[in-house]
Amino acid sequence: MNDKLKKLIPAFIEKAFAAQGYTGDKSMSEIKIICKLFNPCGMATWWIYEHIEEDIYMAFCLLNDPAYAEIGTISLEELANVELPLGLKIERDIHFPVGEKTLKEVWDEVKGR
């Protein structure tokens, strides 16, 4: 993993992904959100909960309108290489509690339920 990716997903976050493991057979209430990435210049936010392979992760993604927020795969390398105004980059929310919120909790917050 290169330095850009290590900044977004440091070793302690990778360990939390490994501890959670495969989530395909779990309910939304059982899946823990491991980290949150965001665009400091806009609304885009990714709540990541599973490391699938290489730089591919499962995430709940909010790119603009909460009605269209969705679950899918993301490429960490693509996110790390996004060029934003003023030289900013996609960032990890260092204050987000690792593994304390479930996918269901975040889904309900975003979807307004």
Tell me: the pLDDT tens digits for 29-57?
Answer: 999 999 999 999 988 999 999 999 999 99
- Counting residues of the chain whose pLDDT is more than 90, the rounded percentage is 88
Encode pLDDT of 92-108 as tens digits: 999 999 999 999 999 99
Mean pLDDT for 86-91 is 94
For range 25-29, the mean pLDDT? 98
Is the pLDDT at 81 greater than 90? The verdict is: yes
Q: What pTM did the predictor assign?
A: 0.94
For 17, 20, 22, 85, 96, the CA distances from 50, given in Å and listed in that order, are 6, 7, 7, 29, 16
- Collapsing DSSP to helix, strand or coil, 108 comes out as helix
- Give pLDDT, residue 7: 84
Q: Return d(Cα 12, Cα 18) in angstroms, integer.
A: 10
Enumerate the domain spans of the chain. Answer: 3-111
**What is the SS3 assignment for 92?**
strand
If you average pLDDT over residues 9-36, what whole number do you get? 97
- Residues 91/102, Cβ–Cβ less than 8 Å: no
Q: What contacts 38, CB < 8 A, 6 or more positions away?
A: 44, 45, 46, 90, 91, 93
Dihedrals phi, psi of 51, to nearest 5 degrees = -95, 115
- For the chain, give the mean pLDDT: 94
